[in-house]
Structure 1
Amino acid sequence: MKYLSHMNIKKTSYLALALAFSHTAGARDVTSSYLLDDLGEQTSIATRTKLNIDYAPGTISILHSDDLISHGARTVWEALALVPGFEMSMDETGNRQVLVRGVGRTYSSGNIKLLLNDVALNSELLSLANPLLNMPVEQVDRIEVMRGPGSVMYGESAYMGVVNVITRKQGQRVFAALGDKGAAAGGGVLALSDAERQFGMSLNVAGWKRDGGGLHAGEDAGYAEGFGALSNAPGLANDKYGYKSALLNLNFKKFSLTAQWLEDGAGDHFGINSYLPPSEQRIVTRQRHRSVEARQLFALSDELQAEFRLGWGDFTRQRDRMFLYPVGMGLDDYTYLNLNYREQRTNAALDVAWEKGRNTWQMGWAFNKIDVEEANSQFNGEPASNWLDLDQKRLISSFTLQDQFRATDALTFTAGLRHDRYNDVGHSTTPRLAAVWQAAPGHVLKVQYAEAFRAPTFYEMRFGNQIKPETIATRELGYTYRQGGGLARVTVFDSALRQQIIFDETSGYSNLSGASSSRGLELELERWLSPALKMDGNLALIRTEDYNTGQPTPGAANRLFNLGMEWHPASEYTVDLRLRHVGPRQREVGDLREKLAGYSTVGLTATAFNFASRGLTLRAGIKNLFNQAVKVPSTIDIYAYPAPNYRDDLPMAEGRAAWVQMTYSF
């Protein structure tokens, strides 16, 4: 059953270093940035209680929308490339992928927890939430990212990290954008509030599309198997994309209601079986997330608070005439697949926070019920049949206990424990222990040990046998130096991964018998070089190893680098130059090709605020300024082993591309 093929990946990484520097005083329009740095940003992603980002346990990044747009990021997926240790990738059918610290390039599962306004979106089918990655940055207020295990607070899927996308809920604004390859986008935010009545409402809508036609594929799997004459390759991939969403938020006193709908669509790109589809430039795969969640906060006393959450959601995945095989390979015509899948989730949770003396206790209970509502497929218009048992369901009960103990004004310990019980894959207990020490003003040291797990997805269970959850244990040591408008941060991590879920073409999914590791160093730097010029960058060095083979895990880079220069020639103008470097990628075991070479791209973005009218912002940019090839590794063809499916690999992004955007705030 070749249409299941993919590249599996395991996990691993590297070492560390330290650094210090001084800052330069800023001009009038950057003084506020200095002030914000001194006050410190707050986040609740690490502990679910608001803490200064520098003093929260774990490794955290916060990406602000206006900064991201100025840097040239157009979607959440592109924005995450700015996070140290995050690598963007793509599978053969165009699904967005995020590799964290060398882990994550699999066909069927995601390794990070994806939340939209604190509501989890990962499906049980694949543990993915592709539409969220395609969300335009204009819809976003900020993106909070925690690198490393997060299961103690977030449960399943928080394996390599947690990403929480917080959307805009204040002000009125509209935007429109145009780009190459028929790209167009638009949307807006409408917000109403009444402080006296403690009422607020916001509606955030957006959509975008791209006609595609910019990705050129070389020889496909048909050539390696002797069917080159039947192939559509070489040729253009079916890389059409589309996205639309509507997000409603209501607040009244201590009650809130969130309703979210987001949907994306994509062409089948290079083919699910690595046979190039006809270049029809049409949407083949559609994925939709819908959710409604109500929250009620109870202030029982000055020291004791509780929050109750009740939610519903569903996930739908449809494939319309997905190309499987070319003419002549078993049939006289193309072979197509139609697929429909829908799962429904209901959830309830109760969180209690109690502050007593130097301790802040958090206790939580959560229940999730996921039902498969539809799962059928048909080939070439034949009668549909169910490929997944419609009686399949997943029941998850979770209990969490965490204590933050302030030993001194400068030293805080955090200890947490979570127990998850599943009806279908057993149970899991995950601990976390962390310490944060402010050694001196501006100098913060962090140390953490945390574990996480990922339960097998419905897809893995359908095409596997007695699969257990995969686990990870990570040790981290971090140092942060912040002064005025300057920042330096270094993080060393060491992860041990066990029971990894891997895929084999002949036997399906199973747990890897051995273990693997991910070790590395992440370095971050921000500094004002002059009153009008800011530099920021980060570097991740990653060393992975599969102990079964002694080789690095395939598909991910061992080196990731970002460097940006932001110039303010005047108070209402900025010019931003970004360099992105991705190192070489390791091949699969048995693939005799050399490592896939790395690439470096440069992006240029110019912004004019209050352009022609107050509140009107004009932005224009060029992605991949020097037209570099950006590719991801192709997999091995099992029928022509060890020949690759695509000998010249898979182009992930078109060449040089221009875009322009206007935003009006009123």
Structure 2
Amino acid sequence: MVKGVKINSVLMALSLAGFVNPTSWAFGDEAAALAEWQAFLNQQTELVTRTKLNADYVPGSITVLHGETLVMNGARILADALALAPNFDMQINLLGQRVIVMRGVGAAFSNSSVKVMLDGVNTVHASQGFAQTLLHMPIEQIERIEIIRGAATVVHGDDAVAGVINIITHDSAQAHLATGSKGYRSASITQGSEFGSGRLRLNLSAWGHGATGVRAEGDAVTVSGFEQYSSAPGRVNNQRAFEQLQLGWHNETTQLNFAYNRLRTGDFYGVIEFLPPSSDRYAQNYEDYLIRLNHEESVTPNLRSVTQLSLGQLSYELDTLYVPKTFIGTDFDDASARGFSDFIYRQTYLNQVREQQVQLEQQFVYDVSDTHRLLLGFDVRWVEITHANAKGIQNKDQDAHENVRARLGSTGDRHYRLAMFLQDEWRISPTFTLTSGLRLQQQWLNYTDRSKDNDKMTNPWQELEVRQVTPKLAAVWQVAPSHILKAQFSQSHVTPPIGQVTYVGNLANTAIRPEAAKTDHYELGYIYAGPVHTQRITFYHSEFDQLTHGTNYFHYFRPLSASGFGQEDYPGMRQIRARGIEWDSDFRFGYRWRGFASVSFNHTDDLAGNAVVGSRPYLGNLGLDYRLSDAIHLAGNVSYGGAMAIEPYDDRERFASYWVWNLAANYNLPKTGWRARFVVNNLTDVAVASPSPINIDLSGLAEKPTAPYAAGYLSPGRQFTLSLDYQF
């Protein structure tokens, strides 16, 4: 485990079958192919414990996806890859923002439950809790993706409530061009060279597509009887464009990286679910600037020091329309009577936020003996919103107090965090390792008080400045060379996004308290690592307590009087639990056939038996990869998702289950470095829907549960891609 332990285990829960690099496909016999397979499986990761361990011998559930494998199987961007990982469901919200749903948790909470990193640097916006730019990163720029399913805050701190995703950037020289249906186009290049005492690399990439033709049949205006003032039914402006620049330099001890990510998208279904006029303009803009300096050195033969300084500036801007057409004066009284007096003008809705993050991490790894290793870490983080602006909301003046609540933060909002964590890896016997950890964290906040008419809490943020203690205990037992048992308990305290937690000033004493938000996570796993196939089974149970409201489900987290539209009152969701079983397998038949499979059975509810919004009881993936010859490589996979849960007071049926098929054909020109690829994503053109919340005001007016977009937010459907790659 720590030193001198021979580990014979499979690498990953999903690598789309763990296929080898295509440059090594020219094996002429089974023995050589098997040797390559075994070498590929026995890889290491630092993501879970921050010390290099075999990926199947670390505590908890980890998945490693390889970029080359994902490219060969037709994935375009990171979000496509995550959809193929065990127990992942990728969704969108009303603004087209990608939503990670891991083990049924995520749809109602933004993405603040999953930490998303680029080469070890956190990219989650503290103001909003999402990492949109990185979820659109093209696969051609990704060396591998490492995923933790389950709480990981002892080592990783903020945002790692339900899991962690770390993207490691590609370093080998290559170029890529692609075109496809619905205006898709993509280009990227990676180049590296020796520079000084180290190696310098450059990564450039860009891709985009136009509006895909997805239509919305209704919106909040049509539902309310104002069809003549709506763009619905009409085309959804779901175009996207992504650009990325990365520079990196490294030698044996030091790494210096810079990354610029930019994502632009249309306004999709409208900021308050009034479909904007069909156009080709970009309504949303995300920009990330990231700098990382990492230095590692040996202080003594048994003591290693790792220092990392990361700087980030993350910004988001939304510029869209409230109402697609102008209400005329004769309709004012009618609109007012229906509760829409605040929304009767055609006007711009602007929301801007820019934040800066600075994080310093210092770790010491001390080998007490060959069987005992200690990790001591210190973590300092500073976050400040340097610019925030919102206007157009409810026709209020920009400086009005009510309008401040509509922002994603206020200029000058800041918080500081100081943390210390200790991890003990102790190999009690040659086959049994116990890992324990403890994180002690204190934070200080200076937020703008957004409460209104509430004299009891003049400084509501003071209650958030609590000392938090987070424990972890895990065991790994190699019962036999091919059989591994794992068990884990871990806890996390939730640091809510600034834009969500600052509503606390209006909450009563009995309401949700963000300072108490935490999770408890239990896991039991078994791995069989055979010579040609691996099997992994994980039983998990997670409890989430005192969660803050999500971005688009405000009413879901508060007591709701639903009797006015024929439903039982709902007490508000404060606690949820996620329980389930995950099985996945990697297998091979000779050196021509390889494959993967995974099935997840989930029960994610609010303790009263109501399934949590966005969760699915079943998720599964199956993929096959066939090497027809040294030049031709065929791959295909299918994903299944069970019927999706909606709010308990919504009388619609659960959103339908789906089967999505993807096919890819790859042709490698012998000895030239060129590769051509043709991909069909969503072969049967299935319209996969993401959950759309009901609107309480509309429901009261209609006297029944009413959602502006009854069919949900729909995926683009079938897509074709033709690409050409070259490896220098």
> What is the TM-score of this pair, normalised by structure 2?
0.84
The equivalent of 1:495 in structure 2 is 542
Q: Which region of structure 1 is more displaced relative to structure 2, 106-115 or 410-419?
A: 106-115
Q: Which amino acid aligns with 2:364?
A: V
The equivalent of 2:361 in structure 1 is 349
Q: 1:255: how far off?
A: 2.0
Aligned length in residues: 636
CA distance in 2: counterparts of 1:157 and 1:512, whole angstroms: 23
Matched, 1:535 2:547: no
Question: Within 5 Å, which residues of 2 pair with 1:44-59?
Answer: 44-59=46-61
Aligned with residue 372 of structure 1, among 377, 381, 385: 385
SS at match of 1:67: helix
Question: Within 5 Å, which residues of 2 pair with 1:491-530?
Answer: 491-502=538-549, 505=554, 514-530=574-590
Q: 1:651: how far off?
A: 4.1
Aligned with residue 545 of structure 1, among 602, 605, 608: 605
SS at match of 1:570: coil
Q: 1:616: how far off?
A: 0.6
Q: Which amino acid aligns with 1:660?
A: L
CA distance in 2: counterparts of 1:469 and 1:215, whole angstroms: 41
Q: Which amino acid aligns with 1:591?
A: D
Q: 1:305: how far off?
A: 0.8
Question: Within 5 Å, which residues of 2 pair with 1:97-496?
Answer: 97-106=99-108, 108-169=110-171, 171-193=172-194, 198-323=197-322, 326-328=325-327, 330=341, 333-357=345-369, 358-379=371-392, 385=399, 387=407, 388-424=409-445, 425=464, 426-465=466-505, 467-468=514-515, 470-496=517-543
Q: 1:123: how far off?
A: 1.1
Q: Which amino acid aligns with 1:619?
A: R
Q: 1:37: how far off?
A: 4.5
Q: 1:274: how far off?
A: 1.3
Q: 1:621: how far off?
A: 0.6
Q: Which amino acid aligns with 1:233?
A: A
CA distance in 2: counterparts of 1:251 and 1:335, whole angstroms: 50
CA distance in 2: counterparts of 1:249 and 1:647, whole angstroms: 45
CA distance in 1: counterparts of 2:573 and 2:345, whole angstroms: 42
- For residues 340-372 of structure 1, give each alpha carbon's deviation from its aligned partner in whole angstroms, at most 9, with x where no partner exists: 211111221211000011211000001111111
Q: 1:32: how far off?
A: 5.0
The equivalent of 1:620 in structure 2 is 678
- For residues 538-583 of structure 1, give each alpha carbon's deviation from its aligned partner in whole angstroms, at most 9, with x where no partner exists: 0011011212x43111222111010111111112221111111111
Contact 2:99–2:110, Cα closer than 8 Å, also in 1:
no
Contact 1:237–1:269, Cα closer than 8 Å, also in 2:
yes
Contact 1:339–1:378, Cα closer than 8 Å, also in 2:
yes
User: What 5-or-longer segments of structure 1 have no aligned partner?
Assistant: 1-24
Change (3 A) 1:224 1:289: same
SS at match of 2:515: coil
Aligned with residue 632 of structure 1, among 676, 687, 690: 690
Q: 1:106: how far off?
A: 2.5
- For residues 567-606 of structure 1, give each alpha carbon's deviation from its aligned partner in whole angstroms, at most 9, with x where no partner exists: 1111222111111111101120210011111111111101
Change (3 A) 1:324 1:429: farther
Change (3 A) 1:34 1:506: closer
Q: Which amino acid aligns with 1:113?
A: K
Q: Which amino acid aligns with 2:545?
A: R
Q: Which amino acid aligns with 1:478?
A: G
CA distance in 1: counterparts of 2:539 and 2:250, whole angstroms: 41
Q: Which region of structure 1 is more displaced relative to structure 2, 420-429 or 383-392?
A: 383-392
Q: Which region of structure 1 is more displaced relative to structure 2, 225-234 or 238-247?
A: 225-234
Q: 1:54: how far off?
A: 1.1
Aligned with residue 35 of structure 1, among 34, 38, 47: 38
Q: Which region of structure 1 is more displaced relative to structure 2, 588-597 or 462-471?
A: 462-471
Question: Within 5 Å, which residues of 2 pair with 1:552-631?
Answer: 552-610=611-669, 614-631=672-689
Q: Which amino acid aligns with 2:711?
A: D
The equivalent of 1:20 in structure 2 is none
Matched, 1:67 2:69: yes
Q: 1:389: how far off?
A: 3.1
Q: Which amino acid aligns with 1:437?
A: W
Contact 1:112–1:163, Cα closer than 8 Å, also in 2:
yes
> What is the TM-score of this pair, normalised by structure 1?
0.91
Q: Which region of structure 1 is more displaced relative to structure 2, 71-80 or 107-116?
A: 107-116
SS at match of 2:514: coil
CA distance in 1: counterparts of 2:101 and 2:484, whole angstroms: 28
Contact 1:89–1:96, Cα closer than 8 Å, also in 2:
yes
Change (3 A) 1:188 1:262: same
Contact 2:64–2:144, Cα closer than 8 Å, also in 1:
yes
CA distance in 2: counterparts of 1:512 and 1:407, whole angstroms: 46
Q: Which region of structure 1 is more displaced relative to structure 2, 380-389 or 400-409?
A: 380-389
- For residues 499-555 of structure 1, give each alpha carbon's deviation from its aligned partner in whole angstroms, at most 9, with x where no partner exists: 1112565798899675321100100012223442222110011011212x4311122
The equivalent of 2:10 in structure 1 is none
The equivalent of 2:723 in structure 1 is 661
Change (3 A) 1:28 1:284: farther
Q: Which structure carries more strand by proportion?
A: 1
Q: Which amino acid aligns with 2:255?
A: S
Q: 1:306: how far off?
A: 0.8
Q: Which structure carries more helix by proportion?
A: 2
Change (3 A) 1:283 1:513: closer
Aligned with residue 714 of structure 2, among 629, 652, 655: 652
Q: Which region of structure 1 is more displaced relative to structure 2, 233-242 or 424-433?
A: 424-433
Contact 2:267–2:320, Cα closer than 8 Å, also in 1:
no
Contact 2:92–2:713, Cα closer than 8 Å, also in 1:
no
Q: 1:226: how far off?
A: 2.1
Change (3 A) 1:78 1:546: same
Q: Which amino acid aligns with 1:53?
A: A
Change (3 A) 1:305 1:628: same
Q: Which amino acid aligns with 1:516?
A: I
CA distance in 2: counterparts of 1:483 and 1:563, whole angstroms: 19
Change (3 A) 1:157 1:495: same
User: What 5-or-longer segments of structure 2 have no aligned partner?
Assistant: 1-27, 328-339, 446-463, 506-512, 560-570
Change (3 A) 1:433 1:626: same
Q: Which amino acid aligns with 2:122?
A: A
CA distance in 1: counterparts of 2:316 and 2:32, whole angstroms: 47
Contact 2:277–2:324, Cα closer than 8 Å, also in 1:
no
SS at match of 2:126: coil
CA RMSD after TM alignment: 2.3
Change (3 A) 1:499 1:107: closer
Contact 1:139–1:204, Cα closer than 8 Å, also in 2:
yes
Q: Which amino acid aligns with 2:429?
A: T
CA distance in 1: counterparts of 2:29 and 2:499, whole angstroms: 53
SS at match of 1:300: strand
Q: Which region of structure 1 is more displaced relative to structure 2, 427-436 or 86-95?
A: 427-436
Larger radius of gyration: 2
CA distance in 1: counterparts of 2:637 and 2:383, whole angstroms: 42
- For residues 227-251 of structure 1, give each alpha carbon's deviation from its aligned partner in whole angstroms, at most 9, with x where no partner exists: 2232111111010101011111111
- For residues 472-501 of structure 1, give each alpha carbon's deviation from its aligned partner in whole angstroms, at most 9, with x where no partner exists: 111111111112231111111011111111
Percent identity (aligned): 25
Q: 1:654: how far off?
A: 1.7
Change (3 A) 1:488 1:455: same
Q: 1:332: how far off?
A: 6.3
CA distance in 2: counterparts of 1:647 and 1:322, whole angstroms: 17
Q: Which amino acid aligns with 2:375?
A: Q
